[in-house]
């Protein structure tokens, strides 16, 4: 690997060899303690793989422990570092596409995550983005909330891409972390 990928691969841990993957594979932006990762890992089954990207190495370590406890660590790779950079490295160096991507990291980066997720998936794949309603704040086109602006740009990018079908679903939330966007590559 060369250039920016050196930082991810050498400073953190090796990006796994995704060329061996078979069956259903999922990617995740934003791991935290691994709660959603465990659901993804159970969903992909014995033959599937999950790659999850987490900025903070200390948090990634907690997620790995939880994945061990849940009995799914053998099918998950937690990669520490900035998700956009790690995903870009994967897109540049591996061809194996994901069947499903879950985007749930820093919200201002949502447009960048969508762009690289499209490089890591093939037609028919599903991409899910969490927290896209923000208690209704996303309808305010003048909002200076960077999370809202990230979601609004994401939605605009999706609307401008005729190869994508998407819908947003409201969910119940009390802290402004609500709403799911589900999109499918046609």
Ligand X SMILES: C[S@@+](CC[C@H](N)C(=O)[O-])C[C@H]1O[C@@H](n2cnc3c(N)ncnc32)[C@H](O)[C@@H]1O
184, 162 Cβ separation under 8 angstroms: no
Residues in the interface with ligand X (CB under 6 A) total 16
Does position 150 bind ligand X by CB under 6 A?
A: no
Binding ligand X by CB under 6 A: which of 82, 97, 150, 179?
A: 82
Quote the CA–CA distance of 173 and 160 in Å, as a whole number: 29
Angle, CA 32 vertex, CA 140 and CA 172 arms, to 5°: 45
Based on CB atoms, which residue is closest to ligand X, 66 or 123? 66
Based on CB atoms, which residue is closest to ligand X, 55 or 127? 55
Does position 7 bind ligand X by CB under 6 A?
A: no
Q: State both tokens at 127.
A: 């991409």
Q: What is the chain's Cα-based Rg? A: 16
In this structure, what are the phi and psi dihedrals at residue 100, rounded to the nearest 5 degrees? Answer: -145, 140
Binding ligand X by CB under 6 A: which of 15, 40, 41, 53?
A: 53
Does position 104 bind ligand X by CB under 6 A?
A: yes
Binding ligand X by CB under 6 A: which of 27, 30, 48, 150?
A: 30
């Amino acid at each position: 690997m060369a250039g920016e990928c050196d930082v991810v691969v050498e400073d953190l841990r090796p990006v796994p060899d995704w060329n061996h993957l078979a069956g259903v594979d999922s990617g995740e932006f934003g791991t935290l303690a691994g709660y959603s990762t465990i659901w993804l890992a159970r969903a992909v089954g014995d033959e599937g793989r999950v790659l999850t990207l987490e900025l903070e190495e200390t948090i990634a370590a907690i997620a790995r422990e939880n994945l061990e406890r849940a009995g799914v660590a053998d099918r998950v790779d937690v990669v520490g570092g900035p998700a956009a950079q790690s995903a870009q490295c994967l897109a540049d160096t591996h061809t194996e596409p994901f069947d499903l991507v879950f985007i749930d990291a820093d919200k201002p980066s949502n447009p960048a995550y969508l762009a690289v997720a499209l490089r890591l998936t093939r037609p028919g794949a599903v991409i899910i983005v969490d927290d896209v309603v923000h208690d209704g704040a996303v309808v305010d086109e003048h909002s200076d909330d960077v999370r809202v602006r990230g979601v609004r740009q994401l939605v605009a990018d999706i609307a401008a891409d005729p190869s994508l079908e998407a819908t947003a679903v409201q969910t119940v939330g009390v802290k402004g972390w609500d709403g799911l966007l589900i999109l499918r590559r046609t």
